[in-house]
Amino acid sequence: MFTTVSSHQNPSRVSGGFYDLPADLFGAIAALKQDLNAIVLAHYYQDPDIQDIADYIGDSLGLSQQAASTDADVIVFAGVHFMAETAKILNPHKLVLLPDLAAGCSLADSCPPDAFAAFKAAHPDHLVVSYINCTAEIKAMSDIICTSSNAVKIIQQIPDDQPIIFAPDRNLGRYVMEQTGRDLVLWQGSCMVHETFSERKIVELQIQHPETEIIAHPECEPAVLRHAHYIGSTTALLNYTQRSDRPSFIVATEPGIIHQMQKATPQKQFIPAPPMNQCACNECPHMRLNTLEKLYLCMRDRQPEITLPADTQTAALKPIQRMLELSR
């Protein structure tokens, strides 16, 4: 049985007409997974229905580890472009699909390759540690990749006398400097979502609900991080809410993660940290471009596919492998 979806619901795929979509998208995606021998990897910032159909849901490190170890023939990446790109770099001979090719990242965009090459040239002798939220070109110019869950651990393994460039997120970089006591040369990039939270509103909310704990992602600005009881990657935040004895949390990261928090501990309350404006700008507009419909269509049509120039792919692989080794 088929229903139709309007261009309004499915804007990126419609060029002057309607598409037929199966009524049971969950069932159709499950069947395509079998036909293609595909694995669906999803980040916690995806819509809840995408999380519910995924074979694996995780933070950037967990997703990279899954991509590195899967024996599926096709990787369907429900996340943003740099994540799917990382999966392709790890699997040059596999088909890697991204439901919406326009799902980018403001943080990755804040570090253009030409400007970064000049920055690197101005700091000879520096080792380049780049946060995974960057393009394949930036990865190809880096020595080691890190994620928010292993950045501190990786910097701690680098000899003390080795100068380091940390790119592209200045907030994570500052946090790592505090945690390690190391002096890092920071690229001044940032994430539009994590810089949207209002310190004043978060503090007011906590005064109104004194039983809550504030938990935050290290991509948040220092003004927010200084009020946090716990700081960590999305997986670390999820795990923390399960072991804390507090009944409620103010969650300073993209609110997609709350779906898993609520599932893991339904008796607890999770309050999305308020943004500065009266907007939904704490939702990542890039992550949210993916929909269940686009996930189905990309599997049905085997596109959009992630492709990369061979030299970039080869150069970007080394620093990712280095990260995977140093994270063991």
Neighbours of 188 (CB within 10 A): 12
Q: Nearer to ligand SF4 by C-beta: 84 or 299?
A: 84
Give, as ranges, the residues between 187 and 226 that touch ligand 13P (CB under 6 A).
Answer: 191, 217, 219
Contact stretch for ligand SF4 (CB under 6 A) within 27-35, 61-69, 187-195, 291-299: 187-195
Report how far Cα 119 is from the mean position of its chain's Cα atoms.
25
**Phi and psi (nearest 5°) for 183?**
-100, 105
Strand-by-strand arrangement of the 74-78 sheet: 56-58, 38-43, 74-78, 95-97
**Nearest distance from C-beta of residue 107 to ligand SF4, angstroms:** 4
Q: What does 170 interact with, of ligand 13P, ligand SF4, none (CB < 5 to 8 A by kind)?
A: none
DSSP category for residue 50: H
Residue from 109, 55, 113, 62 nearest 82 by CA: 109
Taken as a whole, the chain contains a residue count of 328
Among 67, 74, 138, 191, binds ligand SF4 (CB under 6 A): 191
Q: Nearer to ligand SF4 by C-beta: 289 or 320?
A: 289
**How many residues make contact with ligand SF4 (CB under 6 A)?**
13
**What mask, x for binding ligand 13P by CB under 6 A, covers residues 144 to 183?**
---xxx----------------------------------
**Cross-strand bridge partners of residue 212:** 248
Applying CB under 6 A, among 250, 287, 295, 308 the residue interacting with ligand SF4 is 287
Our CB check for ligand 13P shows the closer of 82 and 119 to be 82
Please tell me whether residue 233 binds ligand 13P under the rule CB under 6 A. Answer: yes
**For residues 172 and 258, is the Cβ–Cβ distance under 8 A?**
no
User: Hey, what are 194's tokens?
Assistant: 């994590």
Q: Which helix (H) or strand (E) holds 129?
A: strand 127-131
Q: Is 254 in the site for ligand SF4 (CB under 6 A)?
A: yes
- The tokens describing 104, both together, are 């980018």
Q: Tell me the C-alpha distance between 78 and 80, whole Å.
A: 7
Nearer to ligand 13P, 13 or 86 (CB): 86
* Residues of span 52-111 touching ligand SF4 by CB under 6 A: 80, 105-107
Binding site for ligand 13P (CB under 6 A): 59-60, 133, 147-149, 191, 217, 219, 233-234
